Structure 1
């Protein structure tokens, strides 16, 4: 129903364009009859408007009921606004049609008719927005068909709000087109004292906001049908992930808040924890609305563009190590994780002097902040403990923390292979630092197919936060293998282990601190001594793992 309503809006506006164009091109009839019969202008008007009033009253009653009670009320109200504007444009033509003009006046009145109708349609397009912005742009370009009054009036629609904000806006060559939005280059309005800033403007695709819920319902029905046909399908969790993620990704104001939060987290690492600055750059947000985002324009290349790095003397191994550092901090220290780090959402550029304070010769620009996940404290510390157990090849620890993260009983080995992309014997031998050979990749891939039903069962039981961590780890692993060479194969592993161990150490210190507070109220000397020993053991466990690398 929503699709029909949306189509109706477009059809109505197109009809008024063609109706005004074609009918106004006819010679406006000269009414000369003075008979009191059935062909006078007044009787014609009465006959026409009596019928239209009856139809209009009926439609108004039905429309009011749907307006108030329809489950798609918002979409219906959107349609009513479009019909209202179209009817206004049509009214101006009708008021022009039933006049008696001399020949010299016909052309002048036709021009006035076109202008009035075009202005009304312009008003409707501006009010409706969305896809109608594009419609007005296309109509204004039809100079070979439409009268001048239409093309010039709707050309104002194309640039009215744009010209108020930008010196220029590149509509024809988007910087990038994705499933939900596309990004255009533009330049903000210059002032008398300052040149405008070149920006990137992210625009949500028209109609997504209106129809995504209906599409999600369709996907739900299809998945239910597949599950009914194939009971062992086991991938229904994909729908839940989409249902939770899409509302966030469709809200660009939410994306702007995420971008500010991630920069605040890394700034806190430098100011409070004394960490060295990373090469991370997040484009500055100029302003954000729910479906439009204006941000700083930054040029760069994808991280898998090895020719670009060679040209600018950038070491791909260092890029991989820095990306690992950034995402390890997100996963193990901040608990606020960018969940879509594919190569299209990362840019590499030569370092811009004065804008960053690190010592690398490149910057890592992180884009598309629509999908983040805030991990609960227990989730991110358990995830860190799981990784330290994987690093040590500690099966007991792997089983314990995999269970805490929601993995099915007795499936910890397969879960460990999914998480690391390594065979179990490699994990058990505490040999994750070794290079993943093509043979091992082939074996793991083959076993993934062999254990497909078990994998589906594991994924179905995992919390969504863990699924997103699994996806993020997989994307980072493939990106790392694209960038690094054999000589630097151990570097990214060492970095991740460092932050895993650090997260466990910080969590242990917090726990011991709480125990110390309780002992101060009622504790014996033996309890203090035991606590001191626990502290020393935790300190040694952290530093021995760090030093061993």
Structure 2
């Protein structure tokens, strides 16, 4: 079929017009992307939002298809669930890694939620704790020049362009100060965070609030609330420097008297996006091969880490809330530190996320843990309500301890979690997802961070505990809790005595509280002494240095 020339021209124009508009739009878009900062920001923001939304839809479809199928038996259904968890988690992981920044931070939160999410999700997200994409060196140079008004070469005689560690918000480079020759670690914030942080937080909030509107009972909007509260401080390294200095001051006496293995890197100087601090060599705390090479007993490392965080929580009320293995290093001790009975030091890094517990929460939290250790259900009810604001004390106890209620109720927290119990907890958590989500949604934000801290410490403890004596963790923590509880009750009763005078009732309450404290203290001390002598027998021919009984008692 042929068209007369008069009809060919309009048809050609009709075909060429949309092509020319498309080409012009693409050209203008390309020019704006590379030459107009607001336009580039808008286009990248749309891409990041679209990526997050698309992955959410794909994950939803995965679960919809999996749940809609019929399976011949429970084993086939379990395999299908596991495959769906793994596939969906990997989809989300790739999207988080591509977007970076607070999306990786969100993934880190997910990796710590082993009390609620299947292991396929938490183990997949675990790589985000210390394996994040680095910022190119050229962009790091530009950030330093912009923020400091000088070049890297002006301040440092050496600066390794390859980062020694990359996290969600920053990366760390080894360097040497030109002025003093001191070897330092320079923490540099990822430059794109300034550009995308606000839009990313808004996107996460929108996605979670949308889920909340569609599924009112599925309340995870607290994740965005927590990130909105925490991120502004984590993105300002001046706050991090202040936290590091404060925790060092809190441990000053123990550090000076060498009664702790804790090391906090010295801060050299701090700016909002750049932090310069003392460089300390060491390995991740979960590197068992490194410990064996240096004759370090990983079980003692676990005990010391528990003691350090118990000191923070129950004595100081100022708590590092992100103790994942990438933030805790282990190294052999110098000779001067051998007097503590320990041949290692624990280096605590990344002081961006801290929370302060007021005295009431600190002591209530200690009461709750002593109740859990004793298996006292009445007190568990009482302090679950005071700490977590919940009457679902059995569910809260399981979330707190990572154990089934049967284990808590039989005072059996000191036993190792069996594979059967782990599977039961994981399956139960998934089945009770809505109940747990509701529990967490109504909980004070600070308690959520304490739960996260507990869970991270518990996972590290299970890696380090090669002797399978899990009770020592509760012995150490329990003694701190018991002391905090006794101090609280004694102070309250003495105030009443000073105000009203001594009465038989107050005297009985004081004696009863003292007896409760002493009985728990004696029980824990006896177990600790037994474990110490068993440890001595086990290590009789070991080169690892063993402390004297007196030193070790003081140490714990």
TM-score normalized with structure 2 length: 0.67
Distance 1:415 1:132, change over 3 A: closer
- 1:416 and 2:397 equivalent? yes
- CA distance in 2 between counterparts of 1:436 and 1:324 reads 18
User: SS of the counterpart of 1:295?
Assistant: strand
- 1:536 and 2:511 equivalent? yes
Residue 538 of structure 1: how far off its partner (Å):
1.6
Alpha-carbon displacement from aligned partner over 1:163-208 (angstroms, at most 9, x marks no partner): 222111112x101111100000000014xxxx51000000011031
Contact 1:279-1:356 at 8 Å conserved across structures:
no
Contact 1:301-1:348 at 8 Å conserved across structures:
yes
Q: How does 1:227-376 map to 2 (within 5 A)?
A: 227-268=212-253, 277-354=259-336, 358-376=340-358
Moved more, 507-516 or 336-345: 507-516
Contact 2:141-2:152 at 8 Å conserved across structures:
no
Contact 1:209-1:250 at 8 Å conserved across structures:
no
Counterpart in 1 of 2:158? Answer: 168
- CA distance in 1 between counterparts of 2:415 and 2:136 reads 57
Q: Which runs of 5+ in 1 are unaligned?
A: 14-130, 139-154
- CA distance in 1 between counterparts of 2:306 and 2:463 reads 13
User: SS of the counterpart of 1:431?
Assistant: coil
Aligned residues: 397
Moved more, 500-509 or 457-466: 500-509
- CA distance in 2 between counterparts of 1:135 and 1:407 reads 46
Report which of the two structures shows the higher radius of gyration computed on alpha carbons: 1
User: SS of the counterpart of 1:373?
Assistant: strand
Alpha-carbon displacement from aligned partner over 1:146-165 (angstroms, at most 9, x marks no partner): xxxxxxxxx9x999532222
User: SS of the counterpart of 2:284?
Assistant: coil
Residue 356 of structure 1: how far off its partner (Å):
8.6
- 1:403 and 2:385 equivalent? yes
Q: How does 1:46-445 map to 2 (within 5 A)?
A: 134=138, 160-171=150-161, 173-190=162-179, 196-268=181-253, 277-354=259-336, 358-409=340-391, 411-445=392-426
Distance 1:164 1:137, change over 3 A: closer
- CA distance in 2 between counterparts of 1:187 and 1:356 reads 29
Alpha-carbon displacement from aligned partner over 1:492-519 (angstroms, at most 9, x marks no partner): 1210111111110111122123223313
Counterpart in 2 of 1:463? Answer: 444
Alpha-carbon displacement from aligned partner over 1:100-148 (angstroms, at most 9, x marks no partner): xxxxxxxxxxxxxxxxxxxxxxxxxxxxxxx99936969xxxxxxxxxx
User: SS of the counterpart of 2:187?
Assistant: strand
Contact 2:267-2:276 at 8 Å conserved across structures:
yes
Contact 1:133-1:158 at 8 Å conserved across structures:
no
- CA distance in 1 between counterparts of 2:34 and 2:261 reads 48
User: SS of the counterpart of 1:298?
Assistant: coil
User: SS of the counterpart of 2:497?
Assistant: helix
- CA distance in 1 between counterparts of 2:289 and 2:497 reads 56
Contact 1:136-1:158 at 8 Å conserved across structures:
no
- CA distance in 1 between counterparts of 2:338 and 2:212 reads 51
Counterpart in 1 of 2:35? Answer: 11
- CA distance in 1 between counterparts of 2:516 and 2:255 reads 25
Match of 1:480 among 453, 456, 461: 461
Q: How does 1:23-38 map to 2 (within 5 A)?
A: none
- 1:518 and 2:499 equivalent? yes
TM-score normalized with structure 1 length: 0.68
Alpha-carbon displacement from aligned partner over 1:282-329 (angstroms, at most 9, x marks no partner): 000011111110000001111111100000000010000000101111
Residue 233 of structure 1: how far off its partner (Å):
1.9
User: SS of the counterpart of 1:184?
Assistant: strand
Q: Comparing both chains, which one has the higher relative contact order based on Cα–Cα distances under 8 Å and sequence gaps of 6 or more?
A: 2
Distance 1:487 1:220, change over 3 A: closer
Residue 487 of structure 1: how far off its partner (Å):
4.5
Contact 2:282-2:330 at 8 Å conserved across structures:
yes
- CA distance in 1 between counterparts of 2:382 and 2:486 reads 18
Residue 211 of structure 1: how far off its partner (Å):
2.5
Counterpart in 2 of 1:147? Answer: none
Moved more, 424-433 or 290-299: 424-433
Contact 1:435-1:486 at 8 Å conserved across structures:
no
